[in-house]
């Protein structure tokens, strides 16, 4: 869920903020941006696994970047709507691409390149 903000008052702004924040996280590794724009209730489905909450997602992204230091996230489609509280819900269909080069939750590096579809519900 994307936070309400006086500067963001339409769906177009919500879409832009969601996409820009993901770009900053995955291209520039600015993980703190997640706290600027996503609520604690953001749900993320990655590779069929549900991650509930911004803090859990931040931990998961950190683990992924450790194992896949060249990771990129490509946004394929974006949808948004306003919920009953006036916050914007944004869904993004993305593609994760990376090479398993680091030790971590996915085990010993294999050097294999992966391409994985993701659905992010913010």
Ordered structural domains, the chain, with CATH? 11-121 (3.10.450.50)
Q: How many CB atoms lie within 10 A of CB 20?
A: 12
Going by pLDDT thresholds of 50, 70 and 90, the confidence category of residue 9 is: low
Q: What's residue 6's pLDDT? A: 40
Mean of pLDDT values over 18-42 = 87
Name the average pLDDT for the chain: 86
When pLDDT is averaged across residues 85-94 and rounded to a whole number, the result is 86
Length of the chain: 122
The model carries a pTM of 0.81
The confidence score (pLDDT) of residue 17 equals 87
Specify which residues 8 forms β-bridges with.
5
What is the DSSP track for the chain? -BPPBTTB-SHHHHHHHHHHHHHHHHHH--TTHHHHHB-TT-EEEETTEEEESHHHHHHHHHHHHHH-TT-EEEEEEEEEEE-TTSPEEEEEEEEEEEE--S-BTTBS----EEEEEEEEE-
pLDDT of the residue at 47 = 66
Contact, 22 vs 46, CB < 8 A? no
């Amino acid at each position: 869920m994307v936070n309400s903000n006086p500067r963001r008052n339409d769906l177009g702004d919500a879409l832009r903020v969601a996409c820009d924040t993901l770009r900053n996280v995955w291209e520039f590794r600015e993980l703190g941006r997640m706290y600027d724009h996503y609520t604690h209730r953001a749900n993320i489905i990655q590779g069929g696994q549900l991650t509930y909450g911004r803090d859990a997602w931040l931990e998961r992204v950190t683990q992924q970047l450790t194992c896949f230091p060249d990771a990129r996230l490509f946004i394929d489609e974006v949808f948004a709507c306003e919920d009953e509280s006036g916050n914007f819900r944004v869904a993004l269909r993305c593609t994760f691409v990376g090479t398993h080069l680091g030790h971590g939750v996915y085990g010993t590096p294999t050097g294999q390149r992966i391409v994985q579809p993701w659905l992010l519900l913010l």
